[in-house]
Amino acid sequence: MTSREQLIATTFVELADTLVADFDVIDFLHTLAIRSVELLGATAAGIMLADQHGELRVMASSTEEARLLELYELQNNEGPCLDCYRTGKPVARAGLPAMHSAWPAFTPRLRQLGFHSAQALPMRLRTETIGALNLFRAEPGPLSEADRGIGQAMADVATVGLLQERAIAARAQLATQLQAALTSRVVLEQAKGMLAQRTGLSLDQAFQLMRGYARSNNRRLSDVAAHIIAGTIDSDLLRVHRRAKPTPRPT
Q: What is the pLDDT confidence band of residue 109, given thresholds at 50, 70 and 90?
A: very high
Q: For residue 31, what pLDDT is reported?
A: 92
Predicted TM-score (pTM) of this structure: 0.74
Q: Are 91 and 59 in contact (CB under 8 A)?
A: no
More confidently predicted of 163 and 5: 5
HEC profile of 147-216: HHHHHHHHHHHHHHHHHHHCCCCCHHHHHHHHHHHHHHHHHHHHHHHHHHHHHCCCHHHHHHHHHHHHHH
The model's pLDDT over 10-42, given as tens digits with 9 standing for 90+, comes to: 888 888 876 666 678 888 999 999 999 999 989
Distance, in Å, from the CA atom of 78 to the CA atom of 93, rounded to the nearest integer, reads: 14
pLDDT at 149: 94
Residue 182 confidence class, pLDDT cut points 50, 70, 90 = confident
169 has pLDDT over 50: no
How do residues 112-166 score in pLDDT, each as one tens digit?
A: 999 999 999 999 988 889 999 999 999 998 899 999 999 999 999 999 888 776 5
CB 90 within 8 A of CB 119: yes
